[in-house]
Every structure is written in C-alpha cells, then in structure tokens.
C-alpha cells in the first residue's frame, strides 16, 4: 500500500446541466477530471457537444467523456448511452489525430449500449424537425430500445450485427418509401461504413458496470458526466420539446448500472439562459439583449452550429430542477458574458398570467479572467449571493472565461 493511500477518502461527483444544455459542463468536467480516476457518460449520445479549451486548443466532444484529456483517467461510455459507431469511430480518430491518446486501456464502451444506426439518423431527419432535434438519430434509437427492436453493441462481439442491421434497414426502408415517399440512403455504402466502424470499436467494448463496481471497490475517485440539461429531461422537461433520455440524476443509476452516493452533486448553471431547438422559453429575449448575449457568449450549437436562443436566468424554473437532482453545489458559468449590460435580470416567480416576474440587478464591468471571488465587482457578487440564497445551495465555482484557468474556485 502506498503511504497515505489508506487514509484517502475517494470522492464521487456528478455534474449535470441545470438548464437546457450548453451550460459549460465539458469545461467543469475537464477541471474535475484532473482528480478523477474514472469518468462516466451514462445517457444521451452524439447529440451532446462538450467544449473544452485546454493548452491553447479547443476540443469538442460528442460521445467521448471529457476525461480523455487526462491520460490517467479511465473513460466509460455506459449502457444508458446510445452509440453511433460511425460517429464514435470518427471522434476517436479525430482525437487521436489531435494527439489525445485513446486506447482500450483508457476507454470502455458498454456491450449493452444501444446503437444509433444510419437508419435512425435518417428517420430523425424526417421526423425531428418540429422538435428541432440535433438530427443525430437519438430519438429513433431510444425508440427502438424501448420497442425491443434495437441493436446493442454486443452484436459486434457475437457477430450478429450485419444480420440485425440488414433487417432493421429493410424495415426502415419500407417505412420511408411507403409512408414518407422518400428514398432511403444507399444500403451498401452505409453497411460498409457501419462494419468498418464496428471493427474499430470492437476492442473497446466490455462490461462497463463491472468496471464501475471495480473502481468503487478499489476506492477510486469517480466522476459522472451528464449530457444535455435537466429541462430537456424526457419526463420532467417541456415534453415533447425534450431529448429522448432522462437527463436528471436517476439516469446515472439506470444508465450506469451501479448505485453510488454522490458526494458532490453539481449543478452547472449559466448566468443567463440559452436553448437550441424548439419549445417554451419564458425568459427568452428575442431582442437586442438576446443578440448581445449570443455575441458575447458565442452562443452557437457545438453539435449543429445553430444559433442558440438567449434570455435571462430563470431561477423560478430552477427550484423543481434542484429538488429533482438534490444538488449540493452550483457552478455558475459565463458570468463574464453579462459584463457591460446596464441592468441584469433573473426570473424569481410568475405573475397571474404565468409571465416571468424579474429581480433586477445593477450591471458590472469586465470580469474576464478574474480568479479571486473578492476581486469581482460588488454588483456581480450581489448577483451570485442572490442565486445562492434563492436556491439555498453554495456556489463553489464561477467561470470568468473559456480557458481552463479562467475560473474562481
């Protein structure tokens, strides 16, 4: 036993988006991953876009856990995720080309995870328009899982993939040609792409729940990385304008397969609000303020490049979100992007017509790169204190810029 090792208490943490995604989770996970030995993705798929700025480079991860930037961390894509083998193989190759070491030693993908196939992507492009989906085939893949007609990654190991995919493709070809009068993508080309990707992924496929159990027994620090945000939760979000998985804390258990009492349950919350895709957004500012926030915060989708809808922070909506997830920490992101506004608002209730009631705050000047809480302008600290008091949860980190070091801890 290494001296000191016997007294070390392992830490388990979960990082979740508290709004509609794009709160800056990738960045927070990247910081926490430095002290984590295992990083787990357990829901969602390549619809996520986690942006991390490190060592002067910008990385956008879709399915890969953000822990891949830390060579010692073991990264896990658990069975609750839906995995597009073609997209993941491309992502692994892209990361490797950028000098990020990825091998079966630091990445395990669950044999039980369901596959997103080219048919799912195609169906999403036909059906997902009114929701404003990312077009990554997420809804159709989770639908097949629920209907028990899905294909799991275990099919790569047992050799059944070609047969199962062939049957699924035929089914969706009939559906698209008969019901939608659309031409299905070239089957041979898609099959070749799938099989090539499957070959590349084969060595990574394993039993991820066993890997998590083993990490717990060995006293490792474990970090769970949520994707999307609580307000996009399939059950608790603004249905039908939601994603097709549960984005709240319960998914960590169903999607990871192991119970653990998370010591740190971290809400990542942007100092304002953004949403991509359709659906209600009570504090949306479809005006100059919205434009200002979009410009300042570079609010364009990391996955699709779509401009994000922007508005004020909605604390009223955060109350049930915090209750659902049992958050005990808040990471407040992009506080620097509000600098320069005369007045800043946060919704704290609703009036008789259901419209947001706002609390106004005095604006503040440039805070980009500030690393000490005491150095923030008093007005900015008032805003932070108000959030803490309103939600009754401590703010433990505040980001003041996109780079790794631009954060108040």
Positions annotated as catalytic residues are 22, 50
Q: Which 269-298 positions form the footprint of ligand IMP (CB under 6 A)?
A: 276-277
By the rule CB under 6 A, 36 interacts with ligand IMP = no
Q: Which 306-365 positions form the footprint of ligand IMP (CB under 6 A)?
A: none
Site size toward ligand IMP, by CB under 6 A: 21
Task: Extract the tokens encoding 116.
Answer: 């997103």
Residue 20 C-beta: closest distance to ligand IMP, Å = 6
* Nearest residue (CB) to ligand IMP, 138 versus 156: 138
* Nearest residue (CB) to ligand IMP, 138 versus 332: 138
By the rule CB under 6 A, 51 interacts with ligand IMP = no
Segment lying near ligand IMP (by CB under 6 A), choices 2-10, 42-50, 78-86, 189-197 = 42-50
DSSP string, 301-367: -TTT-PBPEEEEEEHHHHHHHHHHHT--EEEEE-GGGGTT-SEEEEEEEE-TTS-EEEEEEE-----
Provide the pairing of β-strand 222-225 with 114-115.
unpaired
By the rule CB under 6 A, 237 interacts with ligand IMP = no
DSSP string, 200-262: HHGGGEE-HHHHHHHHHHTT--EEEE--S-GGG-TTTSSTTSS-SS--STHHHHHHH------
Among 12, 13, 18, 21, binds ligand IMP (CB under 6 A): 21
Residue 200 burial (10 A CB sphere; 0-12, 13-18, 19+):
middle
> In what order do the strands lie in the sheet containing 272-275?
272-275, 309-314, 343-350, 356-362
- Taking residues 171 to 210 in sequence order and writing x for each that binds ligand IMP by CB under 6 A, - otherwise, the string is ----------------------------------------
Residue 138 C-beta: closest distance to ligand IMP, Å = 4
Segment lying near ligand IMP (by CB under 6 A), choices 14-22, 34-42, 193-201, 357-365 = 14-22
Among 27, 41, 136, 270, binds ligand IMP (CB under 6 A): 136
Distance CA 249, CA 349 (A): 25
By the rule CB under 6 A, 70 interacts with ligand IMP = no
Among 16, 22, 100, 317, binds ligand IMP (CB under 6 A): 22
CB 346 within 8 A of CB 361: yes
Four-point Cα dihedral 194, 195, 200, 203, nearest 10: 110
Site residues, ligand IMP (CB under 6 A)? 20-22, 47-49, 128, 131-134, 136, 138-139, 227-228, 232, 243-244, 276-277
């Amino acid at each position: 036993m290494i001296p000191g090792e016997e007294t070390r208490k392992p830490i388990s943490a979960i990082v979740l988006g508290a709004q509609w995604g794009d709160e800056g989770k990738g960045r927070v996970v990247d910081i926490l991953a430095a002290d984590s030995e295992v990083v787990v993705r357990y829901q969602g798929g390549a619809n996520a876009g986690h942006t991390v700025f490190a060592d002067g480079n910008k990385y956008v991860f879709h399915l890969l856990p953000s822990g891949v930037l830390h060579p010692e961390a073991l990264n896990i894509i658990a069975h609750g995720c839906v995995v597009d083998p073609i997209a993941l193989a491309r992502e692994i190759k892209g990361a490797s080309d950028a000098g990020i070491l990825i091998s079966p030693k630091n990445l395990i993908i669950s044999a039980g995870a369901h596959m997103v196939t080219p048919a799912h992507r195609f169906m999403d492009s036909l059906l997902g328009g009114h929701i404003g989906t990312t077009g990554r085939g997420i809804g159709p893949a989770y639908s097949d899982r629920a209907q028990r007609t899905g294909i799991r990654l275990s099919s790569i190991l047992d050799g059944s993939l070609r047969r199962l995919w062939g049957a699924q493709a035929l089914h969706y070809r009939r559906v698209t040609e008969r019901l939608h009068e659309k031409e299905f993508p070239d089957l041979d080309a898609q099959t070749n792409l799938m099989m090539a990707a499957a070959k590349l992924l084969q060595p990574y496929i394993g039993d991820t729940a066993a890997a998590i159990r083993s990490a717990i027994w060995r006293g490792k620090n474990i970090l769970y990385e949520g994707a999307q945000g609580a307000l996009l939760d399939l059950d608790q979000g603004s249905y039908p304008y939601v994603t097709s998985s549960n984005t709240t804390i319960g998914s960590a258990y169903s999607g990871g397969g192991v119970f653990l009492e998370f010591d740190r349950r971290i809400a990542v919350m942007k100092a304002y609000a953004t949403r991509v895709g359709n659906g209600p957004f009570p504090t949306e500012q479809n005006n100059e303020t919205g434009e200002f926030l979009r410009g300042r915060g570079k609010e364009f989708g990391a996955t699709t490049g779509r401009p994000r809808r922007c508005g004020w922070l909605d604390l009223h909506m955060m109350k049930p979100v915090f209750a659902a997830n049992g958050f005990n920490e808040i990471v407040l992101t992009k506080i620097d992007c509000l600098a320069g506004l005369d007045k800043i608002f946060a919704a704290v209730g609703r009036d008789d017509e259901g419209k947001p009631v706002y609390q106004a705050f005095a604006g503040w000047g440039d805070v980009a790169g500030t690393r000490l809480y005491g150095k923030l302008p008093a007005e900015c600290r008032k805003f932070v204190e108000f959030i803490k008091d309103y939600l009754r949860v401590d703010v433990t980190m505040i980001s003041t810029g996109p780079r790794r070091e631009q954060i108040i801890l």
